[in-house]
Amino acid sequence: MPDASSADAATRNDLRPGDLLFQDIDGGPLCDAIRAVTRGWNGRSFVHVGIVSRAKPGDCALIEAYDEGVVETPLDVFMARCALWDDRPAAAVGRLVPALCPLIPAALAYARAQIGRPYNNAFTLNDRGAYCAQLVYEAFTAANGGVPVFETAPMTFNDPATGRPHPAWREHFASRGLPIPEGRPGVNAADISRSPVIRMRAWRHASAR
């Protein structure tokens, strides 16, 4: 697959509604914990994903589940959060394979209807809130008549170095009085970036933010 130096890398002009925009964020200990237990496309770390909802010149936005819940966010705001990989935004674009592109309008309609839904700090798929990858999973499942487009996998919150829950995850769940959902089925941005039903392209360079 092409990396960020490739001529095939994407810019905002390449975005289409329904594309998935993945990013790494310098977001403190919890982002560090996500990186420790997940691995994405080309070995990259992706801690967040949003769905492109508008892709017109001067008017690009994404629907995402972020700290405040499900919102629609301008592309510039989304990209400003990115960490950097060799002075380039830590981001990549995923596009559904052509056979699944007819699902996009219904997936976007579902995602838009979720705006205002709270954030899911429990990270379980049956919660009334939503986290970033859960929103993507649900939107395309709903668009596909209830048949999942992206696969779930048993979640782990254990630090690979110790085999025990990462301290940031322990703090996250304990502070909210929630159990750690170790082994429960779930989804994350990194796993979605490696799905066989999307084609990935790196984000081109810093000036393309």
pLDDT grade for 74, boundaries at 50, 70 and 90: very high
Dump pLDDT digits (tens) for 50-73: 999 999 988 999 999 999 999 999
Domains defined for the chain, CATH in brackets: 17-208 (3.90.1720.10)
Specify the amino acid at residue 40. G
List the helix and strand counts (H, then E) for the chain: 6, 10
What is the overall mean pLDDT for the chain? Answer: 91
What pLDDT is recorded for position 85?
75
What pLDDT is recorded for position 8?
65
Sign, CA torsion 139/143/147/150: negative
What pLDDT is recorded for position 87?
73
Q: Angle, to 10 degrees, between the axis of helix 104-113 and the axis of helix 132-143?
A: 130
Residue with tokens 């790196």: 202
Cβ burial 126-160 (10 Å sphere, 16+ → b, else e):
ebebbbbbbbbbbbbbbbbeeeebbeeeebbbbbe
d(CA 106, CA 113): 11
What pLDDT is recorded for position 127?
92
